[in-house]
Amino acid sequence: MAVARCLCALLALAVAPAPATAQMTVDLTSRESIKAAAKLIAANLFTYYHGDEPGQTPGILPGPPPAGPYYWWEGGAMWGTMVDYWHYTGDTTYNSKTEHALTFQANSPANNFMPPNWTASLGNDDQGFWGMSAMLAAETTFPDPPPDKPQWLMLAQGVFNTQAARWDMGECGGGLRWQVPPTNNGYDYKNAIANGILFNTAARLARYTDNATYAAWADKTWHWMVNVGYIDHEFNIYDGGHAPKNCTDIDLAQFSYTAGIFIQGLGFMYNYTNGNPEWEARLRGVTKRTIEFFFPDGVAHERACELDDRIQCTTDMLSFKGYLHRFMAQSVQVAPIMRPVIMPVLKASAAGAASACLPDGTCGFRWNAGRYDGLTGAGQQMNALGALTSLLVEEEVTKLPVTNATGGTSLGNAAGGGDPSVERVDKPITAADRAGAGILTMMSLAGMTGSFAWMSTKFGERR
Ligand SMILES: *[C@@H]1O[C@H](CO)[C@@H](O)[C@H](O)[C@H]1NC(C)=O
Ligand SMILES: *[C@@H]1O[C@H](CO)[C@@H](O)[C@H](O)[C@H]1NC(C)=O
Ligand SMILES: *[C@@H]1O[C@H](CO)[C@@H](O)[C@H](O)[C@H]1NC(C)=O
Ligand SMILES: *[C@@H]1O[C@H](CO)[C@@H](O)[C@H](O)[C@H]1NC(C)=O
Ligand SMILES: *[C@@H]1O[C@H](CO)[C@@H](O)[C@H](O)[C@H]1NC(C)=O
């Protein structure tokens, strides 16, 4: 309480002296005020979405490059953001679009989020983001689709099954490769985000279904990450390494969404195991390091590309901070011991996010400047929306994630998902296709630091 009140004061101070660059005013102690701000930010987010207009493809943001800046996965991430928006605010405005988007891209009847249209940029992480949004819909009892459509739980299971089948013992002692089709650039890379999403999905399915097979997969994936050195003894989580090098050429870049995905998955394993001390230590360890690293001055920074003197983030990276907030908040729901550690951080950071928005709900990227920086996009809107709505996790009316035994209504199919392999791509692969979701392999190919200018010209980023 004290923390939030003092943040309001800070916000007010920041607003007062400069009416020319007006900021959105939001009282972070008031559910109604947060809801009103979130409504404006969501409306602005939807100015980027045209998937339900004639001739457009439901579910996707404009893209992939060069058709527009957004890869397929970011649509999946957006619908998860909107499931949380509904869950926290009760505003049903976007529910039918959300349901339509998630079911349209599901690739029925396999129900595995591997639609042929997007094979050329199909990473396990791209697929997995859609899967995590479906899992969230099951956990929050987002309205179930009609019976002739795929159901939330079966979609998450379809993603899990196809990914588990792709676990690759060839090199590195196991692990998921980044890309799915062997012809995609990045197939030789095994990375933290792909394996983190498998860990996250397995942990949540374990809790939802009380099926120990999923928990065993989460356990296995966690230990693989540690064994291969992608998670170090201080709980830094590094980007990945190449299979031909037995994953020893570790790219030390760290991204906030990867940390968020592990914190959420760890919360679920902590809960599933009824507070097992080993999982608690891991949860506390990753959370502590994440707060130190990604919130250096109290607000979230995308450290690898949000530099003091310039922003070098790709369109993908411009959206990561929102997932970090949302996933840390859901971890608090299943691991209440983390509330005193996580919530003050999310509150301070959300105040920064709000200070970067204009009164009409247009938001910038930097959260530590105390003003709108003019760098706009769907990712920035999702960041601010995620930061504000996540504060409502503490409201009494906010429901806890359900399980199949405690109010869950979503139908599953433990054997679903169909063929996990995609052997060939039916159209010529362009450089833009190859970049895929994380674009992270491109970065490691280019030699990490200092390579962003090359990337942003090469891949036609709009900024
Ligand atoms: C695949 O692309 C075709 C042609 O653009 C489009 O009509 C269809 O809706 C797309 N399907 C998906 C799942 O994106
Ligand atoms: C490859 O890496 C794995 C995991 O770190 C390790 O267990 C294995 O011994 C390594 N293999 C070789 C040939 O170095
Ligand atoms: C969920 O619970 C129902 C009974 O309420 C049961 O029939 C169903 O098999 C369960 N599903 C899973 C995935 O455990
Ligand atoms: C538990 O999950 C595994 C892995 O998907 C599946 O093979 C098995 O059938 C599930 N068991 C039950 C009882 O649903
Ligand atoms: C698991 O989550 C529930 C909320 O769904 C919570 O009530 C319970 O305390 C959690 N368990 C632990 C060990 O924190």
Domains, the chain, ordered by start: 7-13+42-455 (1.50.10.20)
**pLDDT value at residue 457:** 28
Could you report the per-residue pLDDT of 435-461, keeping only the tens digit for each? 444 444 444 433 333 333 333 322 322
CB of 413 shorter than 6 A to ligand 3:
no
**pLDDT value at residue 338:** 98
**pLDDT value at residue 422:** 87
DSSP 47: G
User: pTM for the complete prediction?
Assistant: 0.91
Which regions of the chain are under pLDDT 50?
1-19, 428-463
- For residue 69, what is the enclosing H or E element? none
**pLDDT value at residue 116:** 95
Residue 35 has a CB neighbour count (10 Å cut-off) of: 18
What sections of 303-423 are H helices per DSSP?
320-334, 339-355, 378-390
| Residue among 210, 214, 404 whose CB has most ligand 3 atoms within 8 A, to mutate | 404
CB of 338 shorter than 6 A to ligand 5:
no
> In terms of Cα–Cα distance, which of 183, 11, 139, 219 is closest to 408?
139
Cβ contacts of 294 within 8 Å, gap of 6 or more: 254, 256, 259, 300, 301, 302, 303, 324
**pLDDT value at residue 442:** 42
**pLDDT value at residue 454:** 30
Minimal-distance CA residue to ligand 2 atom 13: 246
**pLDDT value at residue 453:** 32
Identify which ligand lies nearest to the alpha carbon of 210: 3
214 CA from centroid of ligand 4 (Å): 8
The pair of three-digit structure tokens given for residue 447, joined into one six-digit string: 């030699």
Amino acid at 363: C
